[in-house]
Amino acid sequence: MPESSSSRSRKPGTVAAGKAVAVRRSSAVKAGATSAVPAAVADVSRPGGAGRLAVRKTYKLFIGGAFPRSESGRTYLVDGDNVVLASRKDARDAVVAARAAQPKWAGATAYNRGQVLYRVAEMLEARHAEFVARGVAAAEVDAAIDRWVWYAGWADKIAQVHGGANPVAGPFFNLSAPEPTGVVAVVAPPSFLGLVSVIAPAIVTGNTVVVLAAAPQAAVTLAEVLATSDVPGGVVNILTGHAAEVAPWLASHDDVNALDLTGVTDPALAADLERSAAGSLKRVVRPSAEAADFTADPGLGAMTALLETKTVWHPKGF
């Protein structure tokens, strides 16, 4: 078949050369377009580049292992940071999460709970610099890590110290064993070491907690540590906001078994919360009359204060 004039006029390599020219022209256009973009705009796509806007962090609640905002949509500023302001509905949600998690956490072996607390210490050690950058003294972070390790070591020993066999006049074995109180609402002190010192003894013995944090940035950062450790969701729940607004709802909540007022500094508020707790016969840990020294040896009091004692009678065999 005879070739067309157009095909006869083409020389070998003409089509390829044409494509190459087109590619070069396209590249030149793209290069020209890129060079026309202002440097400040181009740098936005590069992390750390000049003109990049940093992502502002909102410190959220920690409920059931998740980080929700308040159902009310409220926030407040703390040292220039945006912090979620918890409502009574958030407090109720936290209690529901704590109650759901409590049976399984209490049913875990003491050895397993100790391992979980030690894992928290490991993760906190890895984020040591972050807490220092947020204003927590390096020595206080060190002490907080050591406090987690200390309570982890007591996980499988507290029952031996706080329980035992009781002498009775009769043909019976009488045994006492400690059991967790259940769901504990905690008004935390403002220091980071104080926060750890009220959470760790409560959960190591099988309780779950709902914490009202006085220092929200450090508390939510600790929640991020807990979320990436082996702590099951709902064992620790952290609310940020005002104790005077949220604490009364926790004190009067029928599904809260104990109330720790360590972080309450207003005597009138402490008295009101204790009266509210009396309606459902909650166990109450009263705030110290003097400023608490969390750097001192914590002793066993913080653990035993949130334990119930179960006593079993069993007849002796003959």
pLDDT bin (cut points 50, 70, 90) of residue 4 is very low
Q: Can you give the pLDDT at residue 166?
A: 83
pLDDT at residue 232 greater than cutoff 90: yes
pLDDT at residue 295 greater than cutoff 50: yes
Average pLDDT, the chain: 86
Average pLDDT (283-288) is 93
pLDDT bin (cut points 50, 70, 90) of residue 313 is confident
Least trusted range by pLDDT, from 81-90, 160-169, 174-183, 198-207: 160-169
> Cα–Cα distance between 47 and 54 in angstroms, integer?
9
pLDDT at residue 9 greater than cutoff 50: no
CATH class of 58-315: alpha beta
pLDDT at residue 45 greater than cutoff 90: no
Measured torsion, CA atoms of residues 136, 66, 240, 81, in degrees rounded to the nearest 10: 60
Provide the residue ranges of all domains of the chain, joining segments of one domain with +. Answer: 1-54, 58-315
Digit-coded pLDDT (tens) for 118-164 = 999 999 999 999 999 989 999 999 999 999 999 999 999 999 898 88
pLDDT bin (cut points 50, 70, 90) of residue 168 is confident
> Cα–Cα distance between 141 and 235 in angstroms, integer?
22
Burial class, 110, CB count within 10 angstroms (exposed 0-12 / middle 13-18 / buried 19+): middle
Q: Can you give the pLDDT at residue 25?
A: 36
pLDDT at residue 43 greater than cutoff 60: no
Q: What percent of the chain has pLDDT over 90?
A: 70
pLDDT bin (cut points 50, 70, 90) of residue 47 is low
pLDDT at residue 211 greater than cutoff 90: yes
Tokens at 250, concatenated: 């926790």
pLDDT at residue 7 greater than cutoff 90: no
Three-class secondary structure of residue 300 per DSSP = coil
Digit-coded pLDDT (tens) for 266-284 = 999 999 999 999 999 999 9
The pTM is what? Answer: 0.81
> Cα–Cα distance between 42 and 64 in angstroms, integer?
41
C-alpha distances in angstroms, 149 versus 134, 141, 161, 184, 197? 22, 13, 19, 21, 12
